[in-house]
Amino acid sequence: MLNAERRTPLKKRNLMNTLLKSLIALSAAALAWQVQAAPYQSIVPAKSSITFNFKQMGVSADGRFKKFAAQVNFDPAKAAQGQASFEVELASVDTGSGEADQEVVTKSWFNTAAFPKAQFVSKRIQQTAPNQYEVLGTLSIKGQSREVKFPLKHTPQGKDGLLTGGFTLKRADYSIGEGMWAKFDVVANDIQVNFSITASQGK
């Protein structure tokens, strides 16, 4: 009887320890879920890029913009409430050719003296499939504004998220290439813009 009485409190202690460990595990899991569910509110410039592709004399050419900034508030689970805006410094263009870089900032092309930045502001973000979205917004370049729509893919990366997508713009819609460059026999009208943005939770 004495041994049985001693074993009974021991069983109770073991049960309490098990319950306590379970509660701790559940609390940790809930905390981890809350952290993961936090919206993206900033970008990581060193892990982000905005690139473009065009054809010159029928030959494909690539370029990128080295300086841009963004304001983001995006929760993948609540896409409809998301907002995003980007500003690209057009003078930071890098085509891989110094001569071309000097030409493209002139009045006939970007006219960066009068219009130093391109801007994009989202109007609507809606989910189309798991981690797939459609974004509608306004793109402004060189004093011209047009609506653009493009697919967006979200790839979770721990507390960060990789947002990728792209769209095709018509350079004539934004007066990019005036005068002798207005025709498309040398530089095509279509310009493919692609982005890869690493977004981070918190500001």
Segment 63-74 shows an average pLDDT of 96
First-to-final CA distance of the chain: 64
Share of the chain above pLDDT 90, in %: 79
Nearest Cα to Cα of residue 134 among 146, 147, 120, 150: 150
pLDDT score of 173 more than 50: yes
**For position 35, what pLDDT does the model report?**
42
Q: Options 3.30.420.10, 2.60.40.2250, 2.40.128.110, 2.60.40.10; which CATH number does 38-201 get?
A: 2.40.128.110
The model's pLDDT over 74-116, given as tens digits with 9 standing for 90+, comes to: 999 999 999 999 999 999 999 999 999 999 999 999 999 999 9
HSE at residue 137, side-chain half, CA atoms within 13 A, is: 20
Domains of the chain: which residue ranges? 1-37, 38-201
Segment 146-154 shows an average pLDDT of 98
DSSP assignments along 11-69, one per residue: HHHHHHHHHHHHHHHHHHHHHHHHHHHSPEEEE-GGG-EEEEEEEETTEEEEEEES-EE
> To which H or E segment does residue 6 belong?
helix 2-37
